[in-house]
């Protein structure tokens, strides 16, 4: 018979979260062996900046996926909200608004535009009864087009002061990263410790049973898409600060990265399964791999291949390890 401490250690290895953490550390050590500058404050600041933007979108996607849906529109929402937010900021700054107030208004505009896209998704899904894949494919396409229309293809705004903010903060945390940390923390509590979160799992597991149990499924699903849109809109503002402007190509393809992170993190695309800690680890692995391959001067074309490998391994782990099936 296996002794209990050993069993506990073996149990840890059956835990997908722990495996993800090991993988993350291993990948980082690998990069540092290739180039000893990897474990440095400067590089970690870069990683945290990239990670924080990706985490916002991935956590939004996690809520949607756990509820049994999918949101393909987040990439376009980032683009269209960033462009419209940038136009608002340019307008205010040309009327002698200060940097900070105009950025605050820009943040509200971006989040609002994202919320509108999310509401549109919600209407298409709950009122027009489109499946989420199709509904959000519609807004993905329309959003990309509108971002180009509103920007006429060029970056809106030139705001180097805002751009410097993306690299200032506290130790390895930029201000943006600290804000994301708070948002993700709150959303984690909501998902795992409130009735709203429990409804999310219930609807994702079995919407009919959830309805029978008295949950207003349509209202809940609508709120999840609106939140996803708002978080994508906020990410649009983050990208504005990073490049000091709103560019229509920004965020294109982010939806697939977010879905990949959620899958690597152990969530099921069928719904009802997924942890916020897994998603954050998934985002961290993807970010570290993507950035690290550039860091050690590997051709970026290998990036997609390596990421594909991680998704495949994570998905296989999910099917073979019974311990990870429960949420």
Partner 1 sequence: MKSRSMRFVQGAAVASTLAASIFTFVGGSAVANAASKKYTVAYVVGAASDPFFLSMRVGATAEANKLGISLVWQGNPSVYSAATQIPIVQNLLATKPNALVLAPTDTKALQPLVAQYVAKKIPVFNVDSGDANQANITSWVTGNNVQGGQAAADALASAMGYAKNCSASNKCVVAIGVSSITTSTDAARLKGFAQELKAKYPNIKALNPIVSNSQPTVASSGFKQALAANKVSGIFAIDGTDLEGASQAIVASGAAGKNIKVVGYDAYATTIASMKAGKISAIISQQPALEGKDIIDAVYAKLTGKGGIKHLNTLANIVLTPANCAKLCSTYVYKTA
For 94, residues 6+ apart whose C-beta sits below 8 A from its C-beta are none
- Residue 285 within binding range of partner 1, rule CB under 8 A: no
Tell me which of 3, 4, 129, 299 binds partner 1, using CB under 8 A: 299
Tell me which residues in 134-153 interact with partner 1 (CB under 8 A).
144-145, 148, 151-153
Pick left, alpha or beta for residue 109 (phi over 0 → left; psi -120 to 50 → alpha; otherwise beta): alpha
Closest distance to partner 1 from the beta carbon of 227 (Å): 23
Cα distance between residue 96 and residue 91, in whole Å: 9
Tell me which of 85, 245, 272, 282 binds partner 1, using CB under 8 A: 245
Q: How many residues bind partner 1 (CB under 8 A)?
A: 45
CB closer to partner 1, 33 vs 213:
33
Closest distance to partner 1 from the beta carbon of 37 (Å): 6
Tell me which residues in 20-39 interact with partner 1 (CB under 8 A).
35, 37-38
Asked whether 155 and 93 are in contact (CB, 8 A), the reply is no
Tell me which of 250, 268, 279, 324 binds partner 1, using CB under 8 A: 250
Pick left, alpha or beta for residue 274 (phi over 0 → left; psi -120 to 50 → alpha; otherwise beta): left
Place of tokens 């943040």: 107
Cα distance between residue 87 and residue 277, in whole Å: 36
CB closer to partner 1, 58 vs 66:
58
The helix/strand/coil state of 176 is helix
What is the x/- site pattern for partner 1, positions 148-187, by CB under 8 A?
Answer: x--xxxxx--x-x--xx-xx--------------------
Closest distance to partner 1 from the beta carbon of 145 (Å): 6
Cα distance between residue 237 and residue 231, in whole Å: 10
- Residue 252 within binding range of partner 1, rule CB under 8 A: yes
Nearest alpha carbon to residue 231 among 73, 68, 45: 73
Tell me which residues in 81-140 interact with partner 1 (CB under 8 A).
none
Asked whether 226 and 234 are in contact (CB, 8 A), the reply is no
Q: 230-250 burial by CB neighbour count: b if 16+ within 10 A, else e? A: bbbbbbbbbbbbbbbbbbbeb
The helix/strand/coil state of 173 is strand
Considering only the stretches 41-49, 190-198, 226-234, 278-286, report the one whose residues sit in contact with partner 1 under the rule CB under 8 A. 41-49
Tell me which of 3, 94, 129, 297 binds partner 1, using CB under 8 A: 297
Q: Give the residues lining the site for partner 1 (CB under 8 A).
A: 35, 37-38, 40, 42-43, 46, 49-50, 144-145, 148, 151-155, 158, 160, 163-164, 166-167, 239, 242-245, 247-253, 291-292, 294-301
């Amino acid at each position: 018979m296996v002794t209990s401490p050993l069993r506990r250690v073996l149990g840890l290895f059956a835990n997908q979260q722990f495996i993800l953490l090991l993988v993350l550390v291993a990948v980082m050590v690998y990069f540092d062996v290739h180039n000893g500058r990897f474990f440095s404050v400067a590089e970690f600041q870069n990683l945290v900046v990239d990670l924080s933007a990706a985490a916002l979108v991935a956590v939004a996607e996690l809520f949607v996926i756990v509820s049994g849906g999918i949101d393909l529109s987040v990439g376009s929402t980032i683009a269209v909200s960033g462009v419209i937010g940038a136009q608002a900021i340019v307008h205010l700054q040309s009327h002698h608004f200060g940097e900070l107030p105009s950025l605050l208004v820009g943040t509200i505009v971006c989040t609002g535009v994202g919320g509108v896209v999310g509401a549109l998704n919600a209407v298409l899904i709950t009122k027009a009864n489109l499946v989420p894949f199709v509904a959000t494919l519609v807004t993905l396409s329309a959003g990309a087009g509108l971002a180009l229309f509103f920007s006429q293809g060029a970056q809106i705004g030139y705001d180097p002061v805002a751009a410097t903010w993306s690299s200032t903060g506290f130790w390895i945390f930029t201000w943006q990263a600290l804000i994301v940390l708070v948002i993700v923390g709150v959303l984690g509590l909501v998902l795992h410790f409130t009735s709203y979160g429990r409804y999310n799992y219930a609807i994702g597991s079995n919407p009919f049973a959830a309805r029978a149990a008295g949950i207003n499924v349509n209202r809940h699903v609508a709120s999840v898409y609106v939140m996803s849109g708002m978080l994508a809109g906020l990410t649009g503002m983050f990208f504005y600060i990073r490049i000091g402007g709103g560019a229509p190509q920004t965020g294109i393809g982010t939806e697939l990265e977010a879905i990949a992170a959620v899958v690597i993190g152990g969530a099921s695309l069928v719904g009802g399964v997924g942890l916020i800690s897994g998603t954050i680890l998934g985002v961290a692995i993807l970010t570290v791999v993507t950035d690290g391959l550039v860091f050690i001067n590997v051709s970026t074309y290998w990036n997609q291949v390596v990421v594909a490998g991680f998704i495949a391994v994570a998905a296989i782990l999910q099917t073979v390890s019974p311990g990870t099936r429960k949420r």
